[in-house]
Amino acid sequence: MLALLGHIRALLHRWWADFTLQTRLMAAATLVVSLIMSSLTFWAVNSIQQDARLNDTRFGRDLGLLLAANVAPLVAKGDRTELARFSHRFYSSTSSIRYMLYADEGGNIFFGIPFSDSEVQNSLTIRRRMQLPENYASDLQEPMVRQHLTPDGEVTAVFVPLIHEDRYLGVLAIGTNPNPTVINSSHLTRDVTIAVFVTIWVMVILGAVSNALMITQPIKELLVGVKNIAAGNFKQQIDLPLGGELGELILNFNEMAERLARYEEQNIEELTAEKAKLETLVSTIADGAVLLDGNMHAILVNPTAQRLFGWEDQSDILGSNVLERLPEPVKSELTCPLYQIASGESLSDSLREREGTEFTITIPEPTRRTIRILLTTVLDPHRETVKGIAITVQDITREVELNEAKGNFISNVSHELRTPLFNIKSFIETLHEYGEDLSMEERREFLETANRETDRLTRLVNDVLDLSRLESNKRYRFDGVYIPQAVEQTLRTHQLHARDKRIELVQEVEPDLPPVLGNYDLLLQVFGNLVGNAMKFTKPGGRVALRAYVLEPDSHTATPPSMVRIEVSDTGIGIDSEDQEAIFDRFFRVENRVHTLEGTGLGLSIVRNIIEKHHSSIHLISEVGVGTTFWFDLAIHQDPAMAEARSADGTPASHTTGATTELVLSPNLDG
């Protein structure tokens, strides 16, 4: 039931909302007028009815007094026969009398018309006694009048005391009918009033429906059309067969929409092209661009800014408050300046200087970057009101890293060059100033030291030049390289040094090793640096091994082998885990921590660059006090001509290593 009432209420509300203000005012005025007229009519009918009741009361009282005056002597004599005859004649002489009842002093009814005596005894047994007010006997001068409704209509009852010769004989009760003419007039007036009221409201409802169909609906369609045109949809046509001013208005609207549609078709291509140019320009510039309105809401964000701020997955960035989306370091740095610019407050000189230059901020997420942010105020054409803020974002991470690397490189090179130069200068100056005072042995010792420092300086310069050449864009020729040849040449180069340090050099090369794709000279430099480092950090009596073997493919696949693994292992002092990540950095030396051996700190950095040029990477496994193993993989060379040039025993025709695949150079431990 409640749901039905709610549905009806909603329908009425929607129906009432469809009316215009003018229609509502007309309905309200009609309601007020109809209510006033109806009230006046009902007031008039009520006045007429009250006057009719008053006339009925007077008529009944006069009729009762007249009848009482004529029947009082008969009641006093006790002549009920004559009383009945006279009462019947009186009752029959007028149609206004409904009934007549006679009661004695005690209120007992002894005669009634239209009831006979027997009927009175039988039908009025229950009501054969009149119940009069207690003070009725003391006030016998004025009849008592009462009006009440019966199933046959309204009746005016008059109770007249029967008095003869100042003696109270009883009560005459006479009931009279109302005036039929007055009743009919009252009913007619009421019916006419109701009909007029209903007619007025039927006319109002018909007028409202006509207004909704003929005026409200067309105006609503016009309003919808205007809203669509304001939204940019110019293909609007209203098809309503109306005449007069409203029809002319609809016709003019259709003509206007058609002209706007033609104008749009003529200019939309040009506007679209210009917009596409601007969007392409903004989206393709290397710098990030963010445009904000006065409420810090993002209006435009190009892909570069989305990438720098980590907004790639945030499709709802446009229209949102950009301060809620910025990384925390950027937010803390820019919140105050942005709000001051947006509020139009006069900026301080320091803030103006900062706005004119840039903010340099480091953000850790999503990737660690260093960015430069420039704020630019967007003003109105009169340059009086702030309309927005343009934020330009530049990724200067590479620039900062290069500057830092350059500074570190210059610092390290300066430090490395200064030490040998200082030693050379010190010993040369000593020889120059005190050479005659020194013995031959001391002078030889000074010259040997200066010579060693000169060699160290030469190695440093050569390593720097090698590293610079590797990091340049120079292209190297890659061809088939036979690893056994390069391994054998490397071990022969370090043979004497190993014998002096009593270190065992071991060559473990797999038989029939296929050639790898690479540069022979660069790989020879890799082997030399790795073996040299291994010998440097291996104590006398230790062992340095150089291995090469083909990596077997996955057992689940049928592909042939494609990689050769090369390992250089030693039984030296090992590398601590905290040094293993930085071991390939330039100028990083383990001897910086152990404080025992000298070196340039560029050897492993050169090795990593060479291996990367071979499209591979170098790895290491090390344990302090046990030893270290460096290893990397090289692709097998697939040139058929190289395979045919190999000798029958699997070695290249230009180089023969003999039947053995392991070369052991054992130093004379006895000296």
pLDDT grade, residue 390 (50/70/90)? confident
445 lies in the same domain as 331: no
The last residue of one of the domains, among 341, 364, 395, is 395
98 lies in the same domain as 150: yes
The whole domain housing 253 covers 233-284
Is the CB of residue 387 less than 8 Å from the CB of residue 294? yes
Comparing 133-137, 338-342, 397-401, 560-564, which segment has the lowest mean pLDDT?
Answer: 133-137
Compute CA distances 122 → 107, 117, 118, 401, whole Å. Answer: 17, 9, 6, 130
* Residue 9 falls inside a structural domain: no
Q: What pLDDT is recorded for position 468?
A: 67
Q: What pLDDT is recorded for position 134?
A: 63
pLDDT grade, residue 508 (50/70/90)? very high
Sheet with 386-395, strands from edge to edge, namely 298-301, 288-292, 386-395, 369-379, 359-363
Comparing 20-29, 540-549, 612-621, which segment has the lowest mean pLDDT?
Answer: 20-29
- Whether 244 shows a pLDDT value over 70: the answer reads no
224 lies in the same domain as 252: no
Mean pLDDT, residues 503-514 taken together: 91
Q: What pLDDT is recorded for position 483?
A: 92
pLDDT grade, residue 555 (50/70/90)? low
- Which residue pairs, CB below 8 angstroms and at least 24 apart, start in 527-530? 527/486, 527/487, 527/490, 527/568, 528/490, 528/493, 528/494, 529/603, 529/604, 529/606, 529/607, 530/568, 530/607, 530/630
- Whether 121 shows a pLDDT value over 70: the answer reads no
pLDDT grade, residue 312 (50/70/90)? confident
* Type and span of the H or E element at 176: strand 167-176
* Residue 4 falls inside a structural domain: no
Query: Whose CA is closest to 482, among 634, 317, 353?
Result: 634
| Bigger pLDDT: 591 vs 620 | 620
| Mean residue pLDDT across the chain | 76
- Whether 412 shows a pLDDT value over 80: the answer reads no
Q: What is the pLDDT of residues 189-223, one digit of tens each?
A: 777 777 877 787 777 777 666 666 666 667 777 77
* Type and span of the H or E element at 488: helix 483-493
The total of structural domains in the chain comes to: 5
24 lies in the same domain as 150: yes
Q: What pLDDT is recorded for position 135?
A: 63
* DSSP for residue 554: P
| Bigger pLDDT: 592 vs 441 | 441
* Type and span of the H or E element at 45: helix 21-77
Highest mean pLDDT among 410-414, 428-432, 602-606, 616-620: 616-620
- Whether 545 shows a pLDDT value over 90: the answer reads yes
| Bigger pLDDT: 167 vs 139 | 167
413 lies in the same domain as 541: no
Q: What pLDDT is recorded for position 569?
A: 94
* Residue 11 falls inside a structural domain: no
Highest mean pLDDT among 32-41, 542-551, 597-606, 654-663: 542-551
d(CA 604, CA 611): 10
Please return the burial class of 206, using the count of CB atoms within 10 Å of its CB with bins 0-12, 13-18 and 19+. exposed
Q: What is the pLDDT of residues 605-627, one digit of tens each?
A: 888 888 988 889 999 999 888 99
Mean pLDDT, residues 397-415 taken together: 73
Highest mean pLDDT among 152-156, 348-352, 562-566, 594-598: 562-566
d(CA 358, CA 391): 10
* Residue 40 falls inside a structural domain: yes
263 lies in the same domain as 192: no
Question: What CATH code is carried by the domain that includes residue 25?
Answer: 3.30.450.20
d(CA 385, CA 381): 9
Q: What is the pLDDT of residues 344-353, one digit of tens each?
A: 654 444 444 4
* Type and span of the H or E element at 359: strand 359-363
Q: What pLDDT is recorded for position 638?
A: 79
43 lies in the same domain as 185: yes
418 lies in the same domain as 430: yes
47 lies in the same domain as 180: yes
What does the block give as tokens for 165?
Answer: 């010769």
Q: What percent of the chain has pLDDT over 90?
A: 9
- Whether 389 shows a pLDDT value over 60: the answer reads yes
Q: What pLDDT is recorded for position 40?
A: 77
* Residue 55 falls inside a structural domain: yes
- Whether 118 shows a pLDDT value over 50: the answer reads no
- Whether 663 shows a pLDDT value over 90: the answer reads no
Q: What is the pLDDT of residues 485-495, one digit of tens each?
A: 999 988 888 88
Mean pLDDT, residues 258-265 taken together: 76
pLDDT grade, residue 542 (50/70/90)? very high
486 lies in the same domain as 526: yes
Q: What is the pLDDT of residues 45-92, one digit of tens each?
A: 777 767 777 777 888 788 888 888 888 888 888 888 888 888 888 888
Alpha helices in 78-134 (DSSP H): 80-92, 117-123
Is the CB of residue 302 less than 8 Å from the CB of residue 283? yes
279 lies in the same domain as 290: no
66 lies in the same domain as 151: yes
The dihedral over CA atoms of 534, 535, 536, 537, expressed in degrees to the nearest 10, equals 60
Strand pairing class (563-570; 298-301): unpaired
